[in-house]
Structure 1
């Protein structure tokens, strides 16, 4: 359930590039691309390697999604995370993958003083946002939200070795970092196969760059206009490496009496905030490609600016009035047509 969508990756072809390729007689990498719907979101992986096994590597990545669903889906009965959420406060041994994402999420929760908090799990089904059926999306009563908030708080997560204990009835929802984690694993998998390979991994709009296009060109990423249609870009990013992700108020939301409520909740109130329409983050660390956007949607502009400087990310945000807000270092990533 991705909070935002980076809508497209495409190639800008210029005559000079074509002439250069001919002069050096160096064939462009042959890319293999596969699309799918995994973990409830759109996935695209594009990969090229001189080893000639691009299809095999990409297909292996797609096979891993079945394992990740069995690990991370909090609403799938019998999944590892579902079982942890229903472990009644007992110490529970977890897999390395789940442990890593829990640790990263709790560390980021501490860094943000709880404005990013993975223990909002009980709020999600309360609003109906745990399902793709829009008929289930609704505004809960204030009492229901108040009761759910009694079971929210990252301080209730304890970790000991490879065991985790959830106290006070908290439920984890790791969507705030899961896709970035998987994207990083796939980038590493591609590089292990061939350090000089190129391409990208796009999991619901969280994108990890394997290597520059054709070995030396940037990938151009379109940022969706939060008040436009899904194929309408408001700006573009150029990336040779790193990770990019978008969080926004336009994917899972309801409008009640003229007010928009969406699926990124303030852990203190149980409601979404009106500070921003979307935040796109460029980072060298995958855990920030998603987590920083979620934090910013909850915390607002000033906190977003301070945190970006603290952890070293670039951002492009749209405020509640539709105005663009960019970090000072955004220019090095922005692509202008």
Structure 2
């Protein structure tokens, strides 16, 4: 893959094409901008911190060693290129072109874009699109999450919209993408930030004067990079219903992604409606408060882990273990789950240390 060139939302809101065909899964998830706490070893020289706003969220890059300021700027540029390619809102993006041609025929896209869509579809196939689906966008719009005009739709509106809000509307052939129904839309927002981290990590490997470590925090998706030298990253898991963290896990270099119901949501009559729509029902997910997936550093694990966060967030406890067994050979370090009642659990060979035990 070549480098590309070039809140609380609490009612008020807060290359060459992919190197390989995507193996169906991996995972990631942990706190985002200002949501996770990292306890990284202090090194010299002092780290350079840069903060940007991109993809409707905060991108923070903290680099220690090497030409840190230049590295930060280049990582931002790479993420901006991914945004230009995948954005749901930018008229010139490949997503916008595909959506504008819905019901009219296939659209030629870049190899990178086609491979990213295929990666998303591979994740969907894990459970037949019942927990993650890039074609769910019309439902997100119905609930007001794309316009911020929040509402609770009638049951019939939801069922009618569900009929054309699944990936059976999507046809991928080589580097063409087509939507069958003129009302269908896709949105890569559930995978694009993770993919940005993949592109960043690949670039970091090419730098001759290697940085000592890089921490990228992209709105809930993290890249922890030290070139394999650091094995004791401490990753704090945010409290979904309070301030601070509920505990932490340790990891080597990794991608981390968190899907939760606490950043983008609105309330009606005392009920919380989050932005993660359950494709099986058309309603916002309610089974879990957060799902944090941690994966090792491999090509496309950032993207797939980002998507898998939604899979585990929308899955009941009785299926999460079998889902994990399906994907654990694909580089998953572990998963931390907080269910609707606030009960914490883990999957995989990780140890969760609660805050009270520190």
Cα distance in 2 between the residues matched to 1:246 and 1:55:
27
Greater gyration radius: 1
Cα distance in 1 between the residues matched to 2:353 and 2:226:
15
Deviation string for 1:270-304 (max 9, x for gaps)? Answer: 10232111111111221343222201222211222
The aligned counterpart of 1:238 is: 250
Q: 3-state SS of the aligned residue for 2:101?
A: coil
Q: 2:268 aligns with which of 247, 256, 261?
A: 256
Q: Which has the higher helix share?
A: 1
Cα distance in 1 between the residues matched to 2:30 and 2:242:
13
TM-score, scaled to structure 1: 0.85
2:26 counterpart of 1:11 = no
Counting only pairs closer than 5 Å after superposition, residues 1-337 of structure 1 correspond to structure 2 as 5-6=31-32, 7-11=35-39, 28=44, 30-49=46-65, 52-89=66-103, 90-115=105-130, 116-131=132-147, 133=148, 136-169=149-182, 170-194=184-208, 196-197=210-211, 198-211=213-226, 215-216=229-230, 218-229=232-243, 232-284=244-296, 285-312=301-328, 313=332, 314-331=334-351, 337=358
Deviation string for 1:94-120 (max 9, x for gaps)? Answer: 123322221110111112211211110
In the alignment, is the contact (CA less than 8 A) between 2:267 and 2:273 conserved in 1?
A: yes
In the alignment, is the contact (CA less than 8 A) between 1:177 and 1:291 conserved in 2?
A: yes
Cα distance in 2 between the residues matched to 1:252 and 1:323:
21
Cα distance in 1 between the residues matched to 2:311 and 2:268:
24
In the alignment, is the contact (CA less than 8 A) between 1:33 and 1:44 conserved in 2?
A: yes
In the alignment, is the contact (CA less than 8 A) between 1:43 and 1:204 conserved in 2?
A: yes
Larger relative contact order, structure 1 or 2 (CA cutoff 8 Å, min sep 6):
2
Cα distance in 1 between the residues matched to 2:209 and 2:156:
54
Cα distance in 2 between the residues matched to 1:223 and 1:269:
28
Unaligned runs of 5+ in 1: 19-26
Q: 3-state SS of the aligned residue for 1:146?
A: helix
The aligned counterpart of 2:15 is: none
In the alignment, is the contact (CA less than 8 A) between 1:94 and 1:164 conserved in 2?
A: yes
C-alpha change, 1:29 and 1:155, in structure 2 (3 Å) is farther
Deviation string for 1:211-257 (max 9, x for gaps)? Answer: 179x436332221111013xx11112323211111111111222223
C-alpha change, 1:296 and 1:122, in structure 2 (3 Å) is same
Cα distance in 1 between the residues matched to 2:48 and 2:190:
29
Q: 3-state SS of the aligned residue for 2:134?
A: coil
Deviation at 1:39, TM superposition (A): 1.0
Which is further off, 65-74 or 181-190?
Answer: 65-74
Cα distance in 2 between the residues matched to 1:11 and 1:325:
22
Q: How many residues align?
A: 317
Q: 3-state SS of the aligned residue for 1:330?
A: coil
